[in-house]
Amino acid sequence: MISLHTSPLDQPGTGDAGGMNVYVIELARRLARRGVEVDIFTRATSSRLPAVVRVADGIQVRHVAAGPYEGLDKNELPSQLCTFAREVLRAEVVHPVGHYDVVHSHYWLSGQVGALARDRWNVPLVHSMHTMAKVKNAALAVGDTPEPLSRVIGEEQVVAAADMLIANTELEADQLVRLYGADPTRVDVVPPGVDLRVFTPRRDRSRVRRELGLPEDASVLLFAGRIQPLKAPDVLLRAVAVLLEQDPTLRSRLVVPVVGGPSGSGLEHPESLAVLASELGIDDVVRFVPPVDQGELARWYSAATAVAVPSYNESFGLVAAEAQACGTPVVAAAVGGLTTVVRDEVSGLLVDSHEPADWAHALRRVVTDDVLQQRLASGAVEQASGFAWERTADLTLKSYEQARALMGGADTPLPGAVTRKVAM
């Protein structure tokens, strides 16, 4: 696997680390359990990082030196593609011919390198976009920066080069075909998964709230993720202000934890969300919590009355899937993959706009209607049960097989015990 711009070892929720980091490492773990050896190539961001980290049996993360270790913005990474690609190819040279069977690249920068490795190694390139510039630019958050033309062109090149494209949802598959001219016969839909052992409804909410320092009788509206315009945490805060204006009695029991750190264009003004909370007069109900690991995040989900996902776009919506797996209803924007992950009025509520009044209405329904909340909580667990990393790995292996068959290299099947190596 190639994950150039962000390491699967990084803490999700800040910087460039997010759902893709979780995707890469969790998929790798499930592939390794099926007998696939996985090497993950990522750019080193510190001189102190070891060249190779053995994560688990069959999984290695290889830190590639390409450009300055620190201070390199994601938009500057294209200048280091040649160096990164050279080092990836050099790592393979020490092995016998045919060492890798598949290259699976994540995000367009990695796809550029993956296309070169595919040609050099004569193996299929499977690519996951995760996000797409044309889609993001069509639903740009207020004050956010459009994705540059160089990325659009780079994505078009990767789509044309890939032997197989993996889309998170049917909607993403349609966007690949409609916006990027992808061959529909080379697009597979493989939903990401949730670790159902970590994200589980079997937690006592009262106990978890006590442990997290939350009142047991509170109405907890949680935001989890990177703090940047695309994720729209400001929409939640503005909606909370409207909600409290409409019903001041809620203030005594309302808590709004924001779990995550600044990312992307949000790094330009990392304090902006706290300033907004103060300007709206709701800083007494908002709590800012630094990024946490998956186990701790699951506890926050379990403690919440509802999880808000007001993003302007999501290719899937991993936060929504994880929250539902914990038995917590989700109030989400009706955009992108969220319309697949969340079943409106069954596992959560979908909001057709980013207007604070519309969001306040949806949030009010959840925090004031116990019957609705219980019904959505039950539906959330059922909805999340269909998203498991084991299923993701099985479907991904089928995509690898199909890609290898298209290249005429499937003499030895990948699924099952007789498997070899994947470069991610």
Binding residues for 1D-myo-inositol 3-phosphate: 5, 16-21, 74, 107, 131, 151
Binding-site residues from annotation: 5, 11-12, 16-21, 74, 107, 131, 151, 226, 231, 292, 301, 304, 314, 322, 328
Residues making up the annotated binding site for UDP-N-acetyl-alpha-D-glucosamine are 11-12, 19, 226, 231, 292, 314, 322
* Torsion-angle region of 75 (φ positive above 0: left; ψ -120 to 50: alpha; else: beta): alpha
421-423/37-43 β-pairing: parallel
Type of residue numbered 261: G
* Cβ partners under 8 Å of residue 309, min gap 6: 223, 225, 317, 319, 320, 330, 331, 332, 333, 338, 342
**Rounded CA gap, 112 and 5, in Å?**
12
Residue whose pair of structure tokens reads 């994880």 in the numeric block: 322
Q: Order of strands, edge to edge, in the sheet holding 330-333? A: 286-289, 254-259, 219-224, 306-309, 330-333, 348-351
Contact 117, 84 (CB under 8 A): no
Annotated binding site for Mg(2+): 301, 304, 328
Burial of 404 (0-12, 13-18, 19+ CB in 10 A): buried
β-bridge pairing 59-64 and 52-56:
antiparallel
Count the helix, strand and coil residues of the chain and give each as a percent rounded to the nearest 5: 45, 15, 40
Q: Residue 65: in which H helix or E strand, if any?
A: none
Instruction: Please provide residue 343's backbone torsions phi and psi, each rounded to the nearest 5 degrees.
Output: -95, 110
Exposed e or buried b per residue across 287-304, where buried means at least 16 C-beta atoms within 10 angstroms of its C-beta = bebebbeeeebbbbbbbb
CB 354 within 8 A of CB 55: no
| φ, ψ dihedrals at 195, nearest 5° | -80, 100
Contact 14, 226 (CB under 8 A): yes
Residue 268 three-state SS: helix
